[in-house]
Amino acid sequence: DIVLTQSPATLSLSPGERATLSCRASQSVDNYLAWYQQKPGQAPRLLIYGASNRATGIPARFSGSGSGTDFTLTISSLEPEDLAVYYCQRSGGWPKTFGRGTRLEIK
Amino acid sequence: EVHLLESGGGLVQPGGSLRLSCAASGFTFSSYAMTWVRQAPGQGLQWVSTVSVGGGSTYYAVSVRGRFTISRDDSKHTLSLQMNSLRAEDTAVYYCVKGDSNYYYDFWGQGTLVTVSS
């Protein structure tokens, strides 16, 4: 099975700073890669699909890039409400693996 | 507006059974694959099972294959998950999830908690 490795496990930044989250696949997933945001006590929400496409209603400060095995989620200027755990997930093939997540803390 | 409402969670003893349901509204239910994703307490997300459009194909995580059965009733806009031979490690919040044509999970329910304990 394809394994998705996310780094770092935890990221602590201040409002206005830029956040860079990484997701690396053990084999190529082409661009079948999504990012989800899960705020405390809430269900996950789709942020990015197809590696680089923002889902409906997602602010422009969120962007995704990459293909094959290396992917990045960038939050250009952090807002306090971006406090959450971020997961990547492969959507092509089976099983539909998730990464272990990156916890984003806002100082 | 898309709405997914899970029910059926609760406390069950190891080896027992439970049936989860998900009532869907706000979209053409029959046109989309549907999925269950779970999250153990304090842990990450785990894909559990997916049923295709029409119900002809089903997919399972290795950890639940042979014990869980996913099904759908398009006439009632309902997704189900029959869980048998439950184990402590099945304890989790179970989310009902709608996927688009590329299995990106664009809408999630609020989840139902399943606790397997004696």
Which residue in B45, B62, B104 is closest to A49 by CB distance? B104
Is pLDDT above 90 for B113?
Answer: yes
Which residue in B35, B103, B111 is closest to A43 by CB distance? B111
B50 within 8 A of B104, measured Cβ to Cβ:
no
A75 within 8 A of A19, measured Cβ to Cβ:
yes
B36 within 8 A of B96, measured Cβ to Cβ:
yes
A93 pLDDT band (50/70/90 cuts)?
confident
A52 within 8 A of A63, measured Cβ to Cβ:
yes
B101 pLDDT band (50/70/90 cuts)?
confident
Q: Evaluate the CA torsion angle A58, A90, A97, B10 in order and state its sign.
A: positive
Q: How many CB atoms lie within 10 A of CB B101?
A: 9
Burial of A41 (0-12, 13-18, 19+ CB in 10 A): exposed
Chosen from B6, B39, B96, B105 to mutate, greatest number of chain A CBs within 10 A: B105
Mean pLDDT over each residue of chain A, to the nearest integer: 96
State the average pLDDT over residues B84-90. 98
Pairing relation of β-strands A10-13 and A102-106? parallel
pLDDT tens digit string along A23-62?
999 999 999 999 999 999 999 999 999 999 999 999 999 9
A92 pLDDT band (50/70/90 cuts)?
confident
Is pLDDT above 90 for B94?
Answer: yes
CA atoms within 13 A on the CB side of B43: 15
Which residue in A34, A87, A98 is closest to B104 by CB distance? A34
Query: In this complex, how many residue pairs, one in chain A and one in chain B, have their CB atoms less than 8 Å apart?
Result: 58
CB of A44 within 8 Å of any CB in chain B? yes
Cβ neighbors of B118 (< 8 A, separation 6 or more) are B13, B14
Note which residues in 6-35 of chain A have CB less than 8 A from chain B: 32, 34
Cβ neighbors of B101 (< 8 A, separation 6 or more) are none
**DSSP letter assigned to residue A55:** P
Look at A92 and B61 and tell me if their CB atoms are within 8 Å.
no
CB of A89 within 8 Å of any CB in chain B? yes
Is pLDDT above 90 for A70?
Answer: yes
Instruction: Name the residue among B34, B59, B36 with its Cα closest to residue B46.
Output: B36
How far B72 CA sits from the closest chain A CA (Å)? 19
CB of B102 within 8 Å of any CB in chain A? yes
Q: What is the pLDDT of residue B8?
A: 97
